A and B are shown apart, each in its own frame.
Chain A
Amino acid sequence: MRFVELVRFALGAIVAHPMRSALTSLGVVIGVAAVVMMTAIGLGAQQRVTGAISGLGSNLIIVMPNFQRGPVSQGAGSGMSLRDSDAEAIARQVEDVAAVAPSVTSRAQMNADGANWNTRVEGVTPDYLIARDLIVAQGRMFDAREARQGKKVIVVGPTVARQLWGDADPVGRRIRVRTVPFEVIGVLESKGNAGLGQDQDDVALAPLEAVRSRLVGRRFRGDTIQTIYVKSTDADSLDRVQEDVIDLLRDQHRIRQGEEDDFQTQNMASILATMQAAVATFTVFLAAVAAVSLVVGGVGIMNIMLVSVTERTREIGLRMAVGARRSDVLIQFALESVALSMAGGLIGLAIGIGGALGVAKLAGWPAAIPPWAAPLALGFSMAVGLVFGAYPSWRAARLDPIEALRRE
C-alpha cells in the first residue's frame, strides 16, 4: 500500500463534500488567523515600544525630583530638589559619563510671521543633543557660552518649523516665545513619529538660563533644574553610573542613611526591558487566547470526523473486505483530518497576515509578521489535525468488517 494512494483517498473524501469540508475547517481557519494576527500585533507593539523608548536616547539615565515624597515633610520645596550644582557634580565626579544635560521645561505659545503654535520649550545646554541623541539638521546649536549667558536663540523641532513656516527655511527668523523675542538658529532632524503617543518633533530648545529666567523663572529659585539627563559612555556602565549618581546626589543633598531620596532616577534600559517584558507577556496571553479557538476548531474537526466515520461505516467495512489493513484505514482517516486542518491553517495564515497588515495600517503600527508565522501556523494546524483526528481514525480502524458491511 502506497502512502500517496491513501493521500488520494483522503483528499477524495474531502472534495466529495466541499461545503461540509469548508465548514469543518472554519474553526481552524479562525484559530490560526487569530494566533497569527495576535502574535503579529503583539510583536508590532513590542517594536513600537522599543522604538519609542530608544528614541528618547540610548544609555540614558533620567534624574528628576521625587514627586512622591510627602509634601508635608517637604513643604513648598517639593519637586524642586535639583540644582545646577548637582549637574556639575555629576559631570565632575561620576566616571564613564558621556554627557550631563540639565534642563527645565515649559509649555509656551510661539508667534512668528503671523502664525502661532503651542509647544514644549526645553531650557538646556549643548550636551542635551548628545544625551538625547539629537541632530541639528539646518543651522546650528547654541554653544556653551551662549547657554550660560542665556542668549535668546532657539533651535526648533521639525513640527514647530512646519507649523510656523511651512516649507520655508526658519533659520535667522525672529520668533516670540510668549512675549520674549528669540532668534531661530537651527532646526532639529526629525526623530520620526515613534513617540508613545507624543510627537518628539514638537519641541524647541533654548539656552537653560534664558528659559529659566524668562519663561519659568518666577516659580523657581534661580538655580533650580527639573531634569538631569545623564548619558553613560556605553550600555555596560549604565547601571554603575546610575548607582554612582544616586550616591553622589544623596551626598549632595545631605540625605542620611535610611532617609528617602528627594530625587528619582530612571534608567532607560531597564524601562525598556520592563516594557518589553510586559508587551511580551501580553503577546503570549493574546496568542494563548487565540490558541483556545484553535482547540475549539480541533474539536469541530473531531466532531465531523466522528460523524463521517459513522456515515462511512460500510465504506470502511468494504475497504477492509477487499484487503485494507487496519493501519491503512487509520492512516486514511488521520490524513483526512490533517488535510482538513492544514487547509484551514493555510487559509487562516493568509487571513491572519492580511488582518495583521490591516490592523497595522489602521493603528499606524509597524506590521511585524514574524518569518516563523508560516511554519508555526502549518505546524500547529497539522498537530491539531493529528491530535483531534486520532480518536475518530482509531474508531474507524477498530471496526469489525462484517458488522460494518451490515450497517445501513
Chain B
Amino acid sequence: MIAVTDLTKVYRMGEEEVPALAGVSLAIARGEYVAVIGPSGSGKSTLMNILGGLDRPTAGSYRFGGEEVGRFSDDELADFRRRRIGFVFQSFQLLPRLTALQNVELPMVYAGVAPAERKARAKDLLERVGLGARVGHRPTQLSGGQQQRVAIARALSNRPDLLLADEPTGALDTHTGEEVLKLFEALNRDGLTLAIVTHDPDVAAQAHRRVAFRDGLIVSDERNAA
C-alpha cells in the first residue's frame, strides 16, 4: 500500500541544514502493524508527518496506493489526509470547545457527511472506544486516556486506510497506556493498517514489525516472532 523510496527531509535553520531523514526506504502492506522506534531526534516524527500528508519530503518518492503523494497540491494533500489517513497525536489535539461527539464528527464535517449520519457514526465510534457514556463531555471533563480514545475515534471517523500515531501513549500512565494499546490491537485485528511511533518496549513488542531509526536512517527492520 505504501512505498517510500530514498526519502529525505532537510530542515533549514537559517544557514544551517538539519537532515531529519537521510534516505529512507520502506514498504508497508495493507493490514500491517508497524512500530517505529529509535532515539530522540532520529527522524521518527518527521517520517510520520510525511506519511500523514502533513509535511512534504525534500527529495525521494512517497507512493500511496499507486499515487505519488509528494507531488500533491495543497488541496490534494488536504483531501488525502481527510480520506486516507487517521492521525493520533501524543498531545491528543482535541478542540476544547467541542464535546467528545463533536470532536469525532469534525473530520466527517469536512468530508461532507450529512449531520444525522455523522452523529450516528460518531456515537458508534465512541462506543467502540468505550466512551458511549461520555459523548456530551468536553475534553477538560475527560481523563487523559479518555481524551486519547476520543482522538482515536476521531482518527477513525472517515474510515482511513492508514492510522498513524506519534507516541500515542507518551502522555499517559502505564495503565491507561495499555488500554489504548489494546484498542490499537483490536483495530488492527479488524484489518486496519497501523504505524505507531513509540519509546515504550511493550508497545514495540506488541507490533508485528519493528522499524528502528537512528540519525535519519532505518537501522533495523524486523518482524516479531508471532
* A contact residues vs B (CB 8 Å cutoff): 1-2, 5, 12-13, 16, 314-315, 317-328, 401-402, 405
Q: Measured between C-beta atoms, what is the minimum distance from B107 to chain A in Å?
A: 4
- B111 in contact with A323 (CB, 8 Å): yes
- B93 in contact with A326 (CB, 8 Å): no
Considering the complex, give the chain A residue whose CB is closest to the CB of B46.
Answer: A402
Considering the complex, give the chain B residue whose CB is closest to the CB of A9.
Answer: B109
Query: If the complex has contacts A1-B112, A324-B78, A325-B75, are A319 and B87 also in contact, measured as CB distance less than 8 A?
Result: no
Report whether over half of chain B's contact residues are helix, strand or loop; otherwise say mixed. Answer: helix
**How far is A373 from B127 in the complex, measured between Cα atoms in Å?**
54
- In the assembled complex, which residues on chain A have CB atoms less than 8 Å from the CB atom of B82? 322-324
Question: 5 extra interchain contacts, Cβ-Cβ under 8 A, other than A320-B54, A324-B78?
Answer: A1-B112, A318-B95, A322-B106, A323-B82, A325-B74
B154 located at the interface, meaning its Cβ lies under 8 Å from any Cβ of chain A in the complex: yes
- A402 in contact with B93 (CB, 8 Å): no
B55 located at the interface, meaning its Cβ lies under 8 Å from any Cβ of chain A in the complex: yes
Considering the complex, give the chain B residue whose CB is closest to the CB of A6.
Answer: B109
**How far is A1 from B79 in the complex, measured between Cα atoms in Å?**
11
Those of B116-144 within 8 Å (CB) of chain A? none
Report whether over half of chain A's contact residues are helix, strand or loop; otherwise say mixed. Answer: helix
**How far is A285 from B52 in the complex, measured between Cα atoms in Å?**
58
**How far is A324 from B78 in the complex, measured between Cα atoms in Å?**
6
Those of B83-116 within 8 Å (CB) of chain A? 83, 87, 89, 93, 95, 97, 106-107, 109-112
**How far is A405 from B92 in the complex, measured between Cα atoms in Å?**
10
- A401 in contact with B83 (CB, 8 Å): no
- Between A314, A318, A402, the greatest number of chain B beta carbons within 10 A of the residue's beta carbon is seen for A318
Q: Measured between C-beta atoms, what is the minimum distance from B199 to chain A in Å?
A: 19
Q: How many residues of B contact A (CB 8 A)?
A: 24
* B contact residues vs A (CB 8 Å cutoff): 49, 52, 54-55, 74-75, 78-79, 81-83, 87, 89, 93, 95, 97, 106-107, 109-112, 154, 158
- B81 in contact with A322 (CB, 8 Å): yes
CB within 8 A of A326: which of B78, B95, B110? Answer: B78
CB within 8 A of B93: which of A5, A314, A324? Answer: A314
**How far is A224 from B220 in the complex, measured between Cα atoms in Å?**
122
CB within 8 A of B154: which of A2, A13, A322, A405? Answer: A322
Q: Measured between C-beta atoms, what is the minimum distance from B111 to chain A in Å?
A: 7
**How far is A399 from B93 in the complex, measured between Cα atoms in Å?**
16
Query: If the complex has contacts A1-B112, A5-B109, are A321 and B158 also in contact, measured as CB distance less than 8 A?
Result: no
Q: Measured between C-beta atoms, what is the minimum distance from A67 to chain B in Å?
A: 76
- In the assembled complex, which residues on chain A have CB atoms less than 8 Å from the CB atom of B49? 402
- In the assembled complex, which residues on chain A have CB atoms less than 8 Å from the CB atom of B52? 321
CB within 8 A of B78: which of A5, A325, A405? Answer: A325
Considering the complex, give the chain B residue whose CB is closest to the CB of A323.
Answer: B82
- A319 in contact with B89 (CB, 8 Å): no
- A401 in contact with B74 (CB, 8 Å): no
Name the 4 nearest CB pairs between A and B, nearest first: A323-B82, A322-B107, A325-B78, A323-B110
- A16 in contact with B97 (CB, 8 Å): yes
- B78 in contact with A12 (CB, 8 Å): no
- In the assembled complex, which residues on chain A have CB atoms less than 8 Å from the CB atom of B106? 319, 322
Considering the complex, give the chain A residue whose CB is closest to the CB of B158.
Answer: A323
- B110 in contact with A401 (CB, 8 Å): no
